[in-house]
Structure 1
Amino acid sequence: MPEKEKLRIDKYLWAIRLFKTRTLAADACKAGRVKKDGANIKPSYEVKIGDTFQVSKGIERKVVKVTGLLENRTDAKTAVNFYEDLTPVQETHAFKSMFHAPVLRRDRGTGRPTKRDRREIDDLQGGFFEGGEEKEEKQE
């Protein structure tokens, strides 16, 4: 892949596949979700090899170090060679484990839960939404 010496941050973040479009990358920069050394940067900021950026996408936060400049968007396997993910393991694990919480849904049109249904729902939750202390006191 050809490398350039000057590259805009919005184009770089798009090329390494952190954002789906270049416009989304530029909007993230304008909104202050892309930082270098704690300071917001503009979409026109020129990326240099060795720079470290903090990128926030929704609840996901990444720390990315530039290891190479990629001019055009390529496949994910190639794009990984142009940056180093320095995100702390605790943050990535917390992000992944957030989605393992139980999701309670009822079919549409089934009406209000009966008293029996309510007890079953409470047993399934197992104090997930409440402080588990109350449940333990009731059992003793």
Structure 2
Amino acid sequence: MDNVRIDKWLWAARFFKTRNLAIDAIDSGKVKVNGDRVKPARVVKLGEKLHIDNGSDEWDVLVVGISDKRQGAPIARTLYEESEESIARRIKEAERRKLFHEPAADLKGRPTKRDRRIRDQIDHGE
């Protein structure tokens, strides 16, 4: 199994929930191989360095395994090695998110009528 497309590999390594999300990230330049933008059909090779921005985290990984099947997370982690800098950056970002809560993070979908009334009261100083 040497010929695996990068979109399939990203999905199998559990960086993205669907292949379509992986393809969209690749097309928008959020996935780079050895610092270069690539296309979704590009074949991933052992030893390549990937920079992956999946929206919530950024990863710098080295490809150490090839698979086109999505399996459990412990198996998926054997497909790559994350760099020390990447691990430190993700931990720092997670701590920042804990300390500085994003107000919009609690919003889920469209506000209800009650939510709109409360917001209007705050806006109008009632």
Judged with a 3 Å threshold, the aligned counterparts in structure 2 of structure 1 residues 104 and 80 are, in CA distance, closer, same or farther, namely closer
Q: Which amino acid aligns with 2:45?
A: K
- Answer yes or no: is 1:85 the counterpart of 2:82: yes
- Find the residue that maps to 1:43 and give its secondary structure: coil
In structure 2, do the counterparts of structure 1 residues 70 and 101 end up closer, same or farther at CA, with 3 Å as the change threshold?
same
SS in 1 for 2:62: strand
Residue identity opposite 2:80 in structure 1: Y
Query: Quick one: which amino acid aligns to residue 99 of structure 1?
Result: R
Match among 97, 100, 104 for residue 98 of structure 2: 100
Q: Judge conservation of contact 1:34–1:54 (CA < 8 Å) in 2.
A: yes
- In the alignment of these two chains, the number of paired residues is 109
Q: Deviations over 1:25-58 (max 9, x none)?
A: 0110000000122211110110111111001122
Residue ranges of structure 1 left out of the alignment (5+ in a row): 113-140
Shift of 1:98: 1.6
* Cα pair 1:61 1:87 within 8 Å, conserved: no
The structure with the largest helix share of the pair is 2
CA displacement at 1:102 relative to structure 2? 5.2
Highest Rg: 1 or 2? 1
Residue type matched to 2:7 in 1?
D
Change (3 A) 1:104 1:73: closer
User: In structure 2, do the counterparts of structure 1 residues 103 and 28 end up closer, same or farther at CA, with 3 Å as the change threshold?
Assistant: closer
Q: CA RMSD for the aligned pairs?
A: 2.4
Q: Percent identity?
A: 32
Q: TM-score, normalised by structure 2?
A: 0.75
TM-score by length of 1: 0.68
Letter aligned with residue 75 of structure 1: G
Q: Following the alignment from structure 2 to structure 1, what is the Cα–Cα distance between the partners of residues 84 and 24?
A: 22
Q: Distance in 2 between matches of 1:102 and 1:54?
A: 26
1:57 aligns with 2:54: yes
**Compared CA separation, residues 75 and 100, structure 1 to 2 (3 A):** same
State the one-letter code of the partner of 1:37: N
Q: Distance in 2 between matches of 1:82 and 1:38?
A: 19
Amino acid at match of 1:36: V
Aligned-residue offset at 1:99: 1.7
Shift of 1:103: 4.4
